[in-house]
Amino acid sequence: MFEKEGMMIDEAPMTYVKKINSHEFLLGHGKPTLLSQVDIELTERCNNNCIHCCINLPEDDADAESREMSTDFVKGILTEIASQGCLTVRFTGGEPLLRSDFSEIYLFTRRLGMRVILFTNARLITPELAELFARIPLGNLIEVSVYGMTSESYDRVAGCVGAYGEFRRGVELLQHYQVPFFVKGPKLRFLQDEQEEFEAWAKTIPSMEHQPPGYSMNFELRSRRDDPLKNRTITKLRATPEESVAMLSRDPLALEEMVVFCSNFIGPPGDTLFDCGAGHGCCIDSYGHAQLCLPLRDPESVVNLHDVSLKSVLEEAFPVMRQIKATNPDYLRRCARCFLKGLCEQCPAKSWMEYGTLDTPVEYFCEVAHAKARFLGLLGADEMGWEVENWRERVERPARSVEG
Residues 110-169 that bind other proteins (CB under 8 A): 110-115, 134-137, 139-140
The values of phi and psi at residue 57, to 5°, are: -115, 160
Task: Give CA–CA dist 387/383, Å, rounded.
Answer: 7
- Which residues of the chain form contacts with ligand SF4 (CB under 6 A)? 46, 48-50, 53, 55-56, 93-95, 121, 145, 334-335, 338, 340-341, 344, 346, 361-362, 365-366, 369-370, 385-386
CB 184 within 8 Å of CB 221:
no
Residue among 178, 188, 214 at smallest CA distance from 199: 214
CB 184 within 8 Å of CB 160:
no
Q: Does 15 bind other proteins (CB under 8 A)?
A: yes
Report residue 368 CA to chain centroid gap.
Answer: 19
To ligand SF4, the closest distance from the beta carbon of 127 in angstroms equals 21
To ligand SF4, the closest distance from the beta carbon of 399 in angstroms equals 19
Residue among 403, 404, 399, 397 at smallest CA distance from 258: 399
Cβ proximity to ligand SF4: between 314 and 378 the closer is 378
Residues 54-83 that bind other proteins (CB under 8 A): 82
Residue among 390, 311, 248 at smallest CA distance from 34: 311
* Window of 18-26, 49-57, 209-217, 297-305 that interacts with other proteins by CB under 8 A: 18-26
Residues 23-42 that bind other proteins (CB under 8 A): 27-29, 31, 33-34
Task: Give CA–CA dist 183/148, Å, rounded.
Answer: 11
To other proteins, the closest distance from the beta carbon of 246 in angstroms equals 34
Cβ proximity to other proteins: between 19 and 250 the closer is 19
Task: Residue 9: name its binding partner from ligand SF4, other proteins, none (Cβ under 5 to 8 Å by kind).
Answer: other proteins
All residues at 6 or more sequence positions from 278 whose CB lies less than 8 Å from its CB, including other chains: 292, 293, 296, 322, 347, 348, 349
Q: Does 207 bind other proteins (CB under 8 A)?
A: no
Residues in binding contact with other proteins, number by CB under 8 A: 38
Cβ proximity to ligand SF4: between 185 and 281 the closer is 185
Task: Residue 162: name its binding partner from other proteins, ligand SF4, none (Cβ under 5 to 8 Å by kind).
Answer: none
Task: Give CA–CA dist 322/273, Å, rounded.
Answer: 8
Cβ proximity to other proteins: between 16 and 252 the closer is 16
Cβ proximity to other proteins: between 16 and 299 the closer is 16
Residue among 61, 80, 22 at smallest CA distance from 290: 80
CB 250 within 8 Å of CB 244:
no
All residues at 6 or more sequence positions from 121 whose CB lies less than 8 Å from its CB, including other chains: 46, 47, 48, 95, 144, 145, 147, 158, 163, 167, 170
* Window of 22-30, 52-60, 65-73, 276-284 that interacts with other proteins by CB under 8 A: 22-30
Task: Give CA–CA dist 179/1, Å, rounded.
Answer: 40
Cβ proximity to other proteins: between 13 and 398 the closer is 13
Task: Give CA–CA dist 267/340, Å, rounded.
Answer: 6
Cβ proximity to ligand SF4: between 82 and 170 the closer is 170
Cβ proximity to ligand SF4: between 264 and 312 the closer is 264
Residues that bind other proteins (CB under 8 A): 1-6, 9-10, 13, 15-20, 22, 27-29, 31, 33-34, 82, 85, 87, 110-115, 134-137, 139-140, 180
